[in-house]
């Protein structure tokens, strides 16, 4: 099947644009960047079709072996690409949604500097994510894992002249290193405990082991893998990098949040399901972290005013739902939500980018309003994303969210009820953003015209005619709204793709819950939409009054519970102070530099002393010889007396 072509095509696009992009026209850059991902997507379709994935086949894993990578004693690690039904789902998400984001970027980034660099990074991101998904062993997965971390750093900090962008890129990189350390330790434990890193070998060996109800080697491995997943998939306590990732261009936000990086942790746990199913305590911790993250981040999203920040916290919350699905053993439901979330979350971010584009870089919801008639395509498509993420039937989020919640009820009813409440919060803050953006009166400054190119530092700009004059609030070009329309259709109808049934050969038949569980969760979502309508359409003054009446909890949520400040005071500043005062001033300056400089000073002093003996006078040399002889005789005499002898 030549699976290697799937990731190598985006890598070729990266090489061409990265090395030659300065000399190429935008049309050629677009052709290389978008064309490479299109070819990768088409090759995925060809490979999966040949393997029978679309016709009930692919019952077993298809493996392609290329060469031995590392041979150390009995440990043999190869470069192998493997495809099963779980891989097939991710391949379709990564290449399909990734292709739409690349097309959208052509219009969104049209007036930005570093154009070739942006698309080179975007292609490299696709390459590493595809390596992560296709890798047939944990070490090859880890290569892709580290690669997407690198690309997120490059793309989040794309506007490197802005300090807050570089800070956000550094934050993402460093926080993910914490999680990656856990993953790397898990890889070492797997190699030492199972003697292999190949998925097939490890999983076949673990099947013959007893389930660990408390603690053991398998639990230790699973918990270390979970540390890695909490970093990459932005769960408590390592979620803090993801909201700041909004500093990058909006297409980057869509790619990170919907199709690539944040789903890596979900994929890793789902791929490692045989391990997690042999650790009762590890699975329970996955579920608890997931529901805690979902609720915690949803409360923050209630009051955010940056449109991209609202959707960023919704990503953290929805990832929490996916963790709940995995933690309660409903792996297929969690993966199902990954797919539907890829559709409506990519649409939310790209739609937000379309709003920002229309308003010349404005991102504050308080400066929007009344845009439904000015950018109708963006409005309709974002509305489709809103009903999907809110779980309104029969749209995509309804099917995947309720599959998770019904399984959660069987596992632990309190997780279900907290998940239902969180679903209501999600519907409220998403429609709060939509109502503030598209309903009421326009509250911003840009209205009738905008003159000249006004970059916002995030890819937004006023649309210009041939003379460089803007046209005020405007709909996005076709390169942007066509991907929005496709994603809108997928957000509405994607739930009819029966992913749990497709994954049944891997994870077993999907769970069927009681009907009333579905009714309750749907009612919670509809109630959230209704309250948002009352607050921001019927009585727009009510939210401000409530904020004043409940100023303390409002300010806590508005300031994200001061978690960043807590981390700064407890972790960042002590590390920086310790580095300056202990490692630099004491260990480096006084100890290391002191030892080196002291040795040099001692040598210089000894040299100065001995230099005086080189006078050139014979009598002086004779005196030194006599003095030295007397010193030797005296020392020998003392030594002899000390040994018990005598003269």
Can you read off the two tokens belonging to residue 560? 């994200």
Can you read off the two tokens belonging to residue 224? 């270390």
For residue 450, what pLDDT is reported?
38
- Rounded-to-integer distance, Cα 215 and Cα 280, Å: 9
**Per-residue pLDDT reduced to its tens digit, 405-439:** 999 999 999 999 999 999 999 999 999 999 999 99
**Same domain (yes/no): 642, 568:** no
For residue 257, what pLDDT is reported?
84
Can you read off the two tokens belonging to residue 42? 């088409």
pTM listed for this prediction:
0.89
**Same domain (yes/no): 627, 504:** no
**Same domain (yes/no): 387, 519:** yes
For residue 447, what pLDDT is reported?
55
DSSP 262: T
For residue 644, what pLDDT is reported?
54
Which range is least confidently modeled, 297-306, 566-575, 609-618? Answer: 609-618
Q: Which percentage of the chain shows pLDDT scores above 70?
A: 94
Q: Are 345 and 417 in contact (CB under 8 A)?
A: no
- Rounded-to-integer distance, Cα 497 and Cα 337, Å: 11
**Same domain (yes/no): 565, 646:** no
For residue 455, what pLDDT is reported?
37
**Same domain (yes/no): 340, 350:** yes
Q: Are 114 and 98 in contact (CB under 8 A)?
A: no
Backbone angles phi, psi at 501, to 5 degrees: -70, -40
Q: Are 324 and 419 in contact (CB under 8 A)?
A: yes
The total number of residues shown for the chain amounts to 647
- Does residue 84 come out as left (phi exceeding 0), alpha (psi in the -120 to 50 range) or beta? beta
**3-state class of 212 per DSSP?**
strand
Measuring CA to CA, how many Å separate 590 from each of 11, 574, 575, 587? 48, 20, 19, 6
- Rounded-to-integer distance, Cα 559 and Cα 349, Å: 22
Report which of residues 46 and 611 the model is more confident about: 46
Can you read off the two tokens belonging to residue 428? 């409220």
> At residue 449, does pLDDT exceed 80?
no
**Per-residue pLDDT reduced to its tens digit, 340-398:** 999 999 999 999 999 999 998 899 999 999 999 999 999 999 999 999 999 999 999 99
Report which of residues 448 and 219 the model is more confident about: 219
**Same domain (yes/no): 296, 274:** yes
| Mean pLDDT, all residues of the chain | 91
- Rounded-to-integer distance, Cα 20 and Cα 543, Å: 53
**Same domain (yes/no): 501, 579:** no
Mean pLDDT of 572-601: 87
Mean pLDDT of 49-69: 93
Task: Characterize 236-272 residue by residue with b for buried, 16 or more Cβ atoms within 10 angstroms of its Cβ, and e for exposed.
Answer: bebbbbbbbbbbbbbbbbbbbbbbbbbbbbbbbbbbb
Using the Cα atoms of residue 373, residue 379, residue 384 and residue 387 in order, give the sign of their dihedral.
negative
Annotate 520-563 with DSSP letters as a single string. Answer: HHHHHHHHHHHHHHIIIII-TTHHHHHHHHTHHHHHHHHTGGGH
pLDDT confidence bin for 613, thresholds 50/70/90: low
Q: Which residues partner with 279 through β-bridges?
A: 212
**Per-residue pLDDT reduced to its tens digit, 210-239:** 898 888 999 999 999 999 999 999 999 999
Which range is least confidently modeled, 108-117, 379-388, 451-460, 599-608? Answer: 451-460
User: Could you tell me the residue range of the domain that residue 594 belongs to?
Assistant: 559-612
For residue 457, what pLDDT is reported?
44
> At residue 599, does pLDDT exceed 80?
yes
* H or E segment and range at residue 333: helix 331-358
Beta-strand pair 75-83/62-72? antiparallel
Provide the 10 A C-beta neighbour count for residue 76. Answer: 16
**Per-residue pLDDT reduced to its tens digit, 537-561:** 999 999 999 999 999 999 999 999 9
> At residue 309, does pLDDT exceed 90?
yes
For residue 462, what pLDDT is reported?
37
Specify the residue for token string 């003996």.
Answer: 613
Mean pLDDT of 572-583: 87
**Same domain (yes/no): 146, 25:** yes
**Per-residue pLDDT reduced to its tens digit, 170-212:** 999 999 999 999 999 999 999 999 999 999 999 999 998 989 8
CA angle, residues 377, 379, 381, in degrees to nearest 5: 70
- Burial degree of 197 (CB within 10 A; 0-12, 13-18, 19+): buried
**Per-residue pLDDT reduced to its tens digit, 138-173:** 999 999 999 999 999 999 999 999 999 999 999 999
Q: What is the domain count for the chain?
A: 3
**Same domain (yes/no): 221, 364:** yes
Mean pLDDT of 466-491: 80
> At residue 266, does pLDDT exceed 50?
yes
For residue 212, what pLDDT is reported?
87
**Same domain (yes/no): 294, 424:** yes
Radius of gyration for the chain, computed over Cα atoms and rounded to the nearest angstrom: 31
Last residue of a domain, one of 524, 541, 558: 558
End-to-end CA distance of the chain: 97
Can you read off the two tokens belonging to residue 536? 């921001």
**Same domain (yes/no): 591, 486:** no
> At residue 618, does pLDDT exceed 80?
no
Mean pLDDT of 52-76: 92
Last residue of a domain, one of 516, 531, 558: 558
DSSP 579: I
> At residue 120, does pLDDT exceed 70?
yes
For residue 293, what pLDDT is reported?
98
> At residue 446, does pLDDT exceed 70?
no
Q: Are 210 and 283 in contact (CB under 8 A)?
A: no
Last residue of a domain, one of 558, 588, 604: 558
Comparing C-alpha atoms, which of 117, 129, 119, 104 is closest to residue 40? Answer: 129
Which range is least confidently modeled, 28-37, 135-144, 579-588? Answer: 579-588
- Rounded-to-integer distance, Cα 638 and Cα 636, Å: 5
- Does residue 51 come out as left (phi exceeding 0), alpha (psi in the -120 to 50 range) or beta? alpha
**3-state class of 3 per DSSP?**
coil
For residue 373, what pLDDT is reported?
92
**Same domain (yes/no): 639, 532:** no
- Burial degree of 119 (CB within 10 A; 0-12, 13-18, 19+): buried
């Amino acid at each position: 099947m030549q699976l290697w072509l799937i990731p190598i095509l985006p890598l070729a696009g990266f090489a061409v644009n990265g090395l030659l992009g300065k000399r190429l026209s935008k049309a050629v850059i677009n052709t290389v960047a978008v064309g490479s991902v299109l070819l990768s997507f088409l090759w995925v379709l060809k490979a999966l079709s040949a393997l029978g994935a679309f016709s009930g086949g692919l019952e077993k894993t298809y493996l392609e072996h290329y060469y031995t990578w590392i041979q150390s004693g009995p440990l043999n690690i190869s470069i192998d690409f493997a495809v099963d039904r779980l891989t097939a789902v991710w391949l379709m998400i990564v290449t399909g949604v990734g292709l739409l984001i690349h097309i959208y970027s052509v219009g969104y980034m049209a007036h930005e500097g570093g154009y070739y660099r942006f698309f080179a990074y975007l292609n490299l991101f696709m390459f590493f994510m595809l390596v992560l998904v296709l890798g047939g062993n944990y070490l090859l997965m880890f290569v892709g894992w580290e690669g997407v971390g690198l690309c997120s750093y490059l793309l989040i900090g794309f506007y490197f002249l802005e300090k807050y962008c570089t800070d956000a890129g550094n934050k993402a990189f460093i926080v993910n290193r914490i999680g990656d350390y856990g993953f790397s330790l898990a890889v070492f434990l797997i190699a030492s405990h199972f003697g292999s890193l190949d998925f097939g070998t490890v999983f076949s060996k673990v099947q013959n082991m007893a389930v660990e109800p408390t603690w053991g080697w398998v639990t230790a491995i699973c918990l270390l893998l979970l540390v890695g997943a909490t970093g990459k998939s932005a769960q408590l306590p390592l979620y803090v990098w993801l909201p700041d990732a909004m500093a990058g261009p909006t297409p980057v936000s869509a790619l990170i949040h919907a199709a690539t990086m944040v789903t890596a942790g979900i994929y890793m746990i789902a791929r490692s399901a045989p391990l997690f199913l042999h650790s009762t305590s590890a699975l329970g911790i996955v579920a608890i972290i997931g529901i805690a993250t979902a609720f915690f981040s949803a409360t923050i999203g209630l009051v955010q005013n940056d449109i991209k920040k609202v959707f960023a916290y919704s990503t953290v919350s929805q990832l929490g739902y996916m963790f709940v699905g995995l933690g309660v053993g409903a792996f297929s439901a969690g993966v199902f939500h990954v797919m539907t979330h890829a559709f409506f979350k990519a649409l939310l971010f790209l739609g937000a980018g379309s709003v920002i584009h229309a308003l010349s870089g404005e991102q504050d919801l308080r400066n929007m309003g009344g845009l439904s008639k000015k950018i109708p395509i963006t409005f309709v498509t974002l509305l489709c994303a809103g009903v999907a993420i809110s779980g309104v039937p029969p749209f995509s989020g309804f099917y995947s969210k309720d599959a998770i919640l019904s399984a959660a009820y069987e596992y632990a009813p309190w997780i279900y009820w907290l998940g239902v409440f969180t679903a209501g919060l999600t519907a409220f803050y998403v429609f709060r953003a939509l109502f503030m953006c598209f309903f009421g009166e326009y509250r911003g400054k840009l209205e009738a015209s905008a003159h000249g190119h006004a970059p916002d530092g995030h890819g937004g700009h006023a649309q210009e005619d041939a003379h460089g004059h803007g046209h005020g609030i405007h709909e996005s070009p076709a390169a942007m709204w066509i991907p929005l329309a496709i994603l809108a259709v997928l957000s509405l109808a994607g739930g009819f793709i029966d992913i749990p049934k497709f994954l049944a050969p891997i994870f077993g038949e999907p769970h069927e819950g009681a009907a009333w569980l579905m009714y309750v969760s749907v009612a919670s979502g509809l109630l959230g939409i209704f309250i948002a309508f009352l607050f921001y359409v019927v009585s727009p003054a009510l939210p401000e009054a409530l904020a004043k009446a409940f100023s303390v909890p409002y300010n806590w949520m508005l300031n994200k519970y001061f978690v960043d400040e807590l981390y700064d005071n407890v972790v960042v500043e002590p590390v920086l102070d310790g580095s300056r005062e202990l490692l630099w001033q004491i260990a480096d300056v006084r100890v290391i530099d002191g030892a080196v400089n002291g040795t040099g000073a001692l040598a210089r002093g000894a040299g100065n002393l001995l230099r005086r003996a080189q006078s050139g006078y014979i009598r002086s040399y004779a005196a030194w010889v006599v003095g030295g002889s007397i010193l030797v005789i005296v020392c020998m005499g003392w030594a002899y007396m000390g040994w018990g002898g005598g003269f």
